[in-house]
Amino acid sequence: LIMIIAPIGVFALIAGTITAIAGDNVGTVFSLLSSLGFYTLVVLLGLLLHVLLVYTVIVHFFTRFTLKEFFTGIAPAQLLAFSTSSSAATLPVTLECAEENLGVRHEVASFVLPLGATINLDGTALYQAVATVFIAQALGMPLDLMAQLTIVLTALLASIGTAPVPAAGIVMLVIVLESVGVPSSGIALILGVDRILDMARTATNVTGDSAVAVLINDAEERAAAR
């Protein structure tokens, strides 16, 4: 029953928040909705750029794998992460992909990947920073340079303590919002699109964990060969 009525509840939260901000101005309502679409695109683009500019560089320049070999090897874990939005639920598949497809030794994979699922949540940190700025702008609250730096630092620290389960990032978002004085009630604005963003950032997190595992495994093999 809860799962059936949950979408209605989310819609009511979003509608209530938008009404409180826009009032009876239909133009403002459509402006907020279009801004929500741009917010979604910014987060997705940011996650994509993070994968392309950070993880691909790590794999291409610091491991023995080509990008095709790496992404083909971890594809099952990425797909499961995207569908479940949980790094913890994906962990057994991530371990299997790393060990069987990418040749990561069990000693390395069993240490790096569970640790990464807990503290290496780059996608979550990026999402929390963008979400905080969006909510502040939607509520008409200006953010100076110090506030923006605070957001970056708090989002980074909050992501380290975020549980690897679905929607945990949006719970920890409250900490980031409160750190710069933005009302946490503004989270209602982004609830409607959070599921797709949760799926994308979880896939990003799992990709990062796998890239680091491959990097460390290759580094240890080179050190042992000397």
CA distances to 82, 135, 162, 177, 215 from 169, rounded to whole Å, are 15, 15, 6, 12, 26
**How many angstroms separate the CA atoms of 67 and 73, rounded?**
10
pLDDT, residue 138, reads 84
- For the chain, which domains are there? 35-225 (1.10.3860.10)
What is the chain's length? 226
Dump pLDDT digits (tens) for 83-128: 888 888 899 999 999 999 999 999 999 999 999 988 888 898 999 9
Query: For residue 74, how many other CB atoms are within 10 A of its CB?
Result: 26
The string of DSSP letters for 95-118 reads HHIIIIIS---HHHHHHHHHHHHH
pLDDT, residue 21, reads 59
First and final C-alpha spacing in the chain: 62
Dump pLDDT digits (tens) for 193-225: 888 898 999 999 999 999 999 999 999 888 887
**How many angstroms separate the CA atoms of 167 and 39, rounded?**
18
